[in-house]
Homo-oligomer: A and B are copies of this chain.
Amino acid sequence: MAGTFSGTTETDGDWVNLLPEVILSHPQMGENIGASARAMKNCGLNNLHLVAPRDGWPNPAAEAMASGGADLLETAGIYDTTRDAAAPFTLIAATTARRRGMAKPILSPRDAAQRLIEHKSQGGRTALLFGAERSGLDNDEVALADIIITVPLNPAFSSLNLAQAVLLMGWECRMAAMMDAPADPPPPWPAAASQDKQFFFDALEKTLAEGGFFGTPDMQPGVMRNIKAMLNRADLTEQDISTLHGMVKAIKRSVKPSK
């Protein structure tokens, strides 16, 4: 399953320190814990806290599924209650499907991610809180949260599994933290100089005129402007210009002289 999709940067920046920790409340299947650890690792989240995992701890099924995220399982904190796990955090965001009639801010994943990153950058300690696979978070657990996240998925088919929910929130936090960091410089791009483009365009225009491309002479300037506009949209490089010169020569050579 590897290779479909992967990163291009060499190493993450200090902004990874702005990512939140994760609390899984009463997780049931070990596989889901392992898959959640993977998803965290994908996004650069490194601190996992488990509240009363149903099948005890450690859990071989979790380890088998975690793959490259296994180190998160080894260092995971284990707690009897969500209240214990939540204790040190200064901002907790709970993901929940149901509205609870509690007067808490309800945010989208994107807005919640921004809030979490900002809060930590100001010196706070932040956590994402996820409920059990089937039952979600109970009211007392939601009451521990400072903000509530709801995810606007397809109302006709909105359920995500636990690891997908962790991936989605981890991704949004990662994006929010990266954007907080200074942007990378643009990639080197040996753009063609104007004079080199004009030299090619002049040669092309001469050739096209010889081939009767322009219909009447008064159409020639407008048609050439359109051709230049098309090619200039390609952000031509120096290499492109020499490729284009070579293409015109080769097209000419393709004509059989026997005529």
Interface residues of A (CB under 8 A from B): 1-12, 32, 38-39, 41-44, 68-69, 95-97, 99, 103, 110, 130-131, 133-136, 150-162, 164-165, 167-168, 171, 174-175, 178, 188, 204, 207-208, 210-213, 226-227, 230-231, 233-237, 240, 243, 246-255, 257, 259
Contacts and interface: CB of A to CB of B under 8 A. Distances in A.
A160 B254 contact: no
A28 to B, nearest CB: 9
B3 A97 contact: yes
Given A251-B208, A252-B211, A253-B211, A155 B11 contact: yes
A150 B3 CA distance: 12
B253 A212 contact: yes
How many copies altogether?
2
Given A165-B5, A254-B252, A12 B188 contact: no
Given A1-B162, A4-B165, A42-B154, 19 more contacts: A1-B133, A3-B97, A4-B130, A7-B155, A9-B155, A42-B158, A103-B237, A152-B174, A153-B174, A160-B167, A167-B168, A168-B168, A207-B250, A208-B250, A208-B251, A208-B254, A210-B254, A211-B250, A230-B236
